[in-house]
Structure formats: C-alpha cells, structure tokens
A and B are shown apart, each in its own frame.
Chain A
Amino acid sequence: MDKRKGMKTILTIALLAGTGLLLFGVQNNLDSFQIRILNLAAIYTILGLSMNLVIGFTGMFSLGHSGFMCVGAYTAAILTMSPASKELIYYMEPINPILAQIQWPVFPAILAAGLVAAIFGLLVGIPALRLRDDYLAIATLGFAEIIRIVVTNTISITNGSLGLKNIPSIRSIWVYWGCAIITIIILKRIINSSWGYAFKAIRDNEIAAEAMGISIFKHKLLSFTIGAFFAGVAGALMGFIITSIDPTMFRFLFTFQILLIVVLGGMGSLTGTVISAIVITIMMEVLRFVEGPINLLGIISIPGLPGMRMVIFSLGLLMVILFYRQGLMGTREFNWDWLLKWFGRSKSVERGDSI
C-alpha cells in the first residue's frame, strides 16, 4: 500500500502540473471568446461543487444558491469598483459615503465576497435548517427571493434595479481556474474529513446519525455555510467576467442551471460535477445556434427560437431524473486506485493471466 501511496502523490502532482500546462496553453492559444467560455465553466464548477456539497453530500435540498451568489457578486463589485465609476452610476440615489471611497484589490474582494455570503448563509441556515425536504426547498427559495428583493430596494448600497456597471474586468484564465481548483481541493479535503463523514451520515439516515452522536444541526449548518461561501466566491467571479450585474440576473433560473449540473453529474460526486459543469457550460454556448434562425438547405427556414436551449436542458434534466437517476457518476469519485487497477488489469490481460 505504501508504494501505491508514493505513486499516487506523484500522480497527483503530475496531474496538477499537467492542468497548469494545459491552462498555460489555453491562455496563449485560444481566442478571448473561447477563454471566456472556459472561465464560465470554472465558475459553474465552483457553483456546482458548492451546491453538491449541500444537496448531494448532506442531503439538504436547498434552492437558495442564487441568493448567495447575488450577495457575493454585489460585495465584490462594490469593493473593487473605482470611486469615480461609482459616482457615475449611482445617479438615482447617491451611494452610501462609507462605500464610496473603498477600492480593494481583486483577491481580498473575492475572499470578502465569500465571507459575506457565508454570513448570510449562517443567518439563513439557523432558522431554515430546522426544516426538511420540500419545506427546506421552498424556504430557501423564499430566502433567495427575499435577498433579491432587498437588493433591489436598498438603492444607496446596491443601486437598485439599475444594477452595477463598470466592474473591473478580469480575463485571465488563471484567476477563474485557480479559484476552481482551490475549491476542488478544499471540498475534497472536507468530504474526506470527519465533517464529510458526518455529512454523508446525515444524508443517508438522519435519525441513525443522531443516534451515533453526530450533532445534526451543527453539521447541517456547517455544510450550508460552506456552500454559501463558495456560492459567494462564484458570484464575485461572475461579476468580474460579465462586468455588470443587476438583481434580475439572480433569479431562480440560475439555481435551476446549477441544479441541472449537479443532477447530471451525480448527486454526491465531485468528479461528476466538475465534468458536467464543463460539458454543460460548453453545451450552452454550442446550442446557441438552435435559438438563431435556422436555414435547412435553403428550402425551409425557421426563425429564431429564444428559449429553445432551456427546453432542451429541462428535457435533459427530466430524462436523467426519470431514467438514470444516479447521473453520470452516481456517488463515485475519480481516484488513482481505480485508474491503477484498470491499468493493472489491462496489463494482466496482455500477459494472459487469469483475472
């Protein structure tokens, strides 16, 4: 086993180095549109992972993700925008003087966005997590909607329904995928810690978990708050990629897209979420053509059909949930043991050994 362990460490380092090289290549060779899509994929990866922690690993059906994203996006945007552009866009009502002069660098702002979202997560979680299943779903949905409505109405802080523009733009793939990889590593460590085991125990059988001495409420709150933290981080990154945000962006539709990623990838699998986040983000761009006018051989032409992509995605979600409920990976994870065994097996087949 020890030999394996050393080998696995080497493989992990090699994988990280390989990813780094790949990102380096991507940054230098692809055009800015393709890089933007990959950056979006990184954001959806973070979102999917944080939702999967809550839904897939802890078994709490929370639909409040877009609310925490909204908090994160606004926090980061207000912290990083220059005082000059703040003065320019807050014309309905002047900005709160405390916020007007602040201008932070990007990374502290991202961290602050996560922390503020986590505080909101804690505040929402303390009352909401006493509920279960569909009641929890509808209550968290309600909280997300309340957050959105409060953001729309606190004009001196958020500029209300006009939203924020001129958020500093970040194009570098390192920032987005750096955050995504850090998220993957942190969540993987959490899942394999005693917290992670407690989360899974709660998911599988709450009463049994409680009987085993796991503090249900504490662990649920922990998982929920960590989920909110990463949702806030993703929200901050979302602001940096599209450079303008407004409250209507963070509707339930957003949560639906993340839910789609989590269900397709497999509830309870980090690997599945990463794969499906990347695939779905790319699909969303590729499928843009179905919403434009289509011309079949110059004979039949179909006018543009906005909304067609979401029809396809909702059908996809229904198909998965009806016919293949475990999703792409179920609760399995990619790991080196599995890969090594697979290699070992193919080698032994070559040698003609019996398996």
Chain B
Amino acid sequence: MSMDSFLQNIANSITLGSLYALIAIGYTMVYGIIRLINFAHADLLMVAAYVAFYGIFIFALPWWVAFAIAVVLTTLLGVGIEKVAYRPLRNAPRISVLISAIGVSFLLENIGIVALGARPKPFPRPEDLVWNIHAGNISFLSLTIIIPIVTGLLLLAVTFMVKKTKIGIAMRAVSRDFETSSLMAVDVNKVVGTTFAVGSALAAVGGLLWSLQYPQVDPLMGVFPGLKCFIAAVMGGIGSIPGAMLGGFLLGTMEVMLVGFMPGLSGYRDAFAFIILILILLFKPGGILGENVVEKV
C-alpha cells in the first residue's frame, strides 16, 4: 500500500470511527440505565436523515434549519418510544422489553417503507458543509475534518453532563442501582427520559453526519450502522461512555484497515464486526473499559 492510500485509510477510519462512537454512546447510556438493547436506536438515524431530507427538498428549508428540526423531532420520538413501549414493561422480564424494542424497530422501518418508499434516495450535500480539500497528492472531503470535530465536541459535552451536572450524577446513580436511587428521591422516570433524549439527539446527529458521508437514505439504512455501533459499545464496555468512544474508534479503524490491507476479504466486512463481538463476549464480556459484573442471586 502506498503512503497516500495509507493516509486515505487513516482518514476514512477516523471518520467512520467518529460516527460509530457518536451512535454507540446512545446505546451505552440506555443500556447502562435500563439494561436494554434499544433496537429502535438504529432507526432513529433513519428518521433524522429523512426529516432533514424532506425539510430540504419539500419545504426548501436552509440545511441548518432542517438539521435542527431533525434533531428535535428525533429526540422527541426517542423519548416517546421510551414512554410508550419500554416504561410499561419496566418490571416485566427482560425478554419482554427486548421483544418490545424489536417490535418498535420493525414498526419504524416498515412505516418508513410504507410512507417513504423502499427505494434509496440521494441525500443532499450542502455546499457550505461539504467541499473538497487538496493537500499534496491526496484530496479529501471537508467531512473528514468536520465529523471528528463535531463528534469530539458532543463527546465533551456529554462527558461534562454526566460527570458534573446534577442530572448526570442522577444518571450514574440510577445506572448503579435503580431501586436505591429511587428511594433516595431521584426521579427515575425523569432520569430515564433524559437519557433517552440525550441518546436520541446524538443518534440524530450521527444519522445526519452519516447521510452526509454516505449520501443516500433508505428506510433500512440504520440497521447495519446500528448493530455495529452496539458492537462498538460492547467492545468498549457497555455502560461506559469513554468505552463507547474507544470501541467506536477501534471498530471503525479495524473495519477500514481490514478492507484496506486485505481487499480479498471485503465480502466479509459485515461479518467481521460480529466476529469481534463474539470474541469480546467470550473472552472479555465486560469490554475493554468495563468492569466484570457477576450477577448476584
């Protein structure tokens, strides 16, 4: 591999890793608090992308207005899903909540197919956001820089919120012990709602950046990124926010490098993430930064 294409791969892996990290945080926060794989999280990417798409094309809004509306609507949807589909099952067996999450995910995807059509549509790339940068022999899109910066800022904001603010402290308390914190006058419903709001907002931003980077939207676009980001969250240690970032970057880098160094294996690219997942679950189920928790009787 030449130096140029190596640099190109590095750039690609940083971009992909940032996207994975951003989306993985939503998974890890929700899992940390209510121990649920939020299958619907993946479809929030799709919802955000479509809202922006229609905002720009049908209502001819400036891109930043459309993007803002997309983030707000997706956040509301995420919170709504928790209220309707997960909250009533809080004391039910875990399998039931998981089935409910799968149901919501399929519902969103199929509503997408019915309302928006199954055919992929091209996503617009606003000119003030996406342009070509030339540096020596390599040229790359401005997104290669924008995506990591946006991701970095949001990660800092989330870390600050969880570490320093009151609601962040409440979140950590609830994730450590649900019942005790509710006895200590923490409003558990509010905490869970906020967690879903933050996670969904990050998913929305992730979905928008994703569709800028890979400019195509279709109702099932969230499925694979979603699964992979969950894998990234597990890799880093589920429930841990730095873990999700680390997992996201690692998974992104490994995927890009696998295809870069061994093009013959590119057909197995999607299987690769799952193989990593299974290896992690078997040998270090707590993830890289997670703690190994033994279930109590």
- Contact yes or no, B285 A311, CB < 8 A: no
Beyond A61-B95, A130-B282, A138-B37, whether A315 also contacts B277 by CB under 8 A is no
Tell yes or no: B96 within 8 A of A by CB. yes
Q: Which one of A130, A137, A150 lies within 8 Å of B271 (CB-CB)?
A: A150
- Contact yes or no, B106 A310, CB < 8 A: yes
- Contact yes or no, B85 A322, CB < 8 A: yes
Tell yes or no: A191 within 8 A of B by CB. no
Q: How far is the CB of A218 from chain B (nearest CB, A)?
A: 19
- Contact yes or no, B95 A127, CB < 8 A: no
Q: How far is the CB of A254 from chain B (nearest CB, A)?
A: 12
CB-CB contacts of A106-148 with B at 8 A, as 1s and 0s?
Answer: 0000000000000000000001101101110111011101100
Complex: A321 Cα to B99 Cα, angstroms: 7
Q: How far is the CB of A238 from chain B (nearest CB, A)?
A: 21
Q: How far is the CB of B89 from chain A (nearest CB, A)?
A: 7
Complex: A305 Cα to B111 Cα, angstroms: 10
Q: How far is the CB of B278 from chain A (nearest CB, A)?
A: 6
Q: Which one of B96, B227, B271, B285 lies within 8 Å of A321 (CB-CB)?
A: B96
Tell yes or no: A318 within 8 A of B by CB. yes
- Contact yes or no, B277 A133, CB < 8 A: no
Give the residue name and chain of the B residue nearest to A161 (CB).
Answer: B267
How many of A's residues come within 8 Å of B, CB to CB?
42
Q: How far is the CB of B50 from chain A (nearest CB, A)?
A: 14
Complex: A310 Cα to B103 Cα, angstroms: 10
- Contact yes or no, A145 B270, CB < 8 A: yes
Which B residues touch A263, using CB under 8 A? Answer: 99
Which B residues touch A128, using CB under 8 A? Answer: 278
Complex: A267 Cα to B230 Cα, angstroms: 27
Beyond A134-B37, A317-B99, whether A139 also contacts B107 by CB under 8 A is no
Give the residue name and chain of the B residue nearest to A149 (CB).
Answer: B271
Which A residues touch B275, using CB under 8 A? Answer: 142, 146
Tell yes or no: A307 within 8 A of B by CB. yes
A141-170 residues at the B interface, CB under 8 angstroms: 141-143, 145-146, 149-150, 152-153
- Contact yes or no, B99 A259, CB < 8 A: yes
Interface size class of B (residues with CB under 8 A): 35 or more
Tell yes or no: B98 within 8 A of A by CB. yes
Tell yes or no: A18 within 8 A of B by CB. no
- Contact yes or no, B104 A153, CB < 8 A: no
A241-258 residues at the B interface, CB under 8 angstroms: 252, 256
- Contact yes or no, A315 B270, CB < 8 A: no
Tell yes or no: B57 within 8 A of A by CB. no
B36, B98, B99, B112: most-surrounded residue (chain A CB, <10 A): B99
Q: Which one of A59, A138, A314 lies within 8 Å of B103 (CB-CB)?
A: A314
Tell yes or no: B141 within 8 A of A by CB. no
- Contact yes or no, A310 B89, CB < 8 A: no
Complex: A143 Cα to B114 Cα, angstroms: 30
CB-CB contacts of B224-262 with A at 8 A, as 1s and 0s?
Answer: 000100110010000000000000000000000000000
B85, B106, B111, B227: most-surrounded residue (chain A CB, <10 A): B106
- Contact yes or no, B277 A131, CB < 8 A: no
Tell yes or no: A275 within 8 A of B by CB. no
- Contact yes or no, B102 A138, CB < 8 A: no
Which B residues touch A308, using CB under 8 A? Answer: 110, 114
Q: How far is the CB of A27 from chain B (nearest CB, A)?
A: 35
- Contact yes or no, B111 A311, CB < 8 A: yes
Tell yes or no: A171 within 8 A of B by CB. no
- Contact yes or no, A149 B118, CB < 8 A: no
- Contact yes or no, B118 A307, CB < 8 A: yes
- Contact yes or no, B114 A145, CB < 8 A: no
A38-74 residues at the B interface, CB under 8 angstroms: 55, 59, 61
Complex: A141 Cα to B39 Cα, angstroms: 12
| 12 A/B residue pairs, CB under 8 Å, sorted by A | A61-B95, A131-B285, A133-B95, A135-B285, A149-B268, A153-B267, A153-B268, A252-B223, A306-B114, A308-B110, A317-B99, A318-B104
Q: Which residues of B approach A to under 8 Å, CB–CB?
A: 35-37, 85, 88-89, 92, 94-96, 98-100, 102-104, 106-107, 110-114, 118, 223, 227, 230-231, 234, 267-268, 270-271, 274-275, 277-278, 281-282, 285, 297
- By Cβ-Cβ distance, the 6 closest A-B pairs, closest first, are A307-B113, A142-B274, A314-B107, A149-B271, A310-B110, A314-B106
Known contacts A135-B234, A318-B85, then 15 further A-B pairs from the complex at CB < 8 Å, ordered by chain A residue: A134-B36, A138-B230, A138-B277, A141-B227, A142-B278, A145-B271, A146-B271, A152-B267, A207-B297, A252-B223, A307-B110, A308-B110, A310-B106, A310-B113, A318-B100
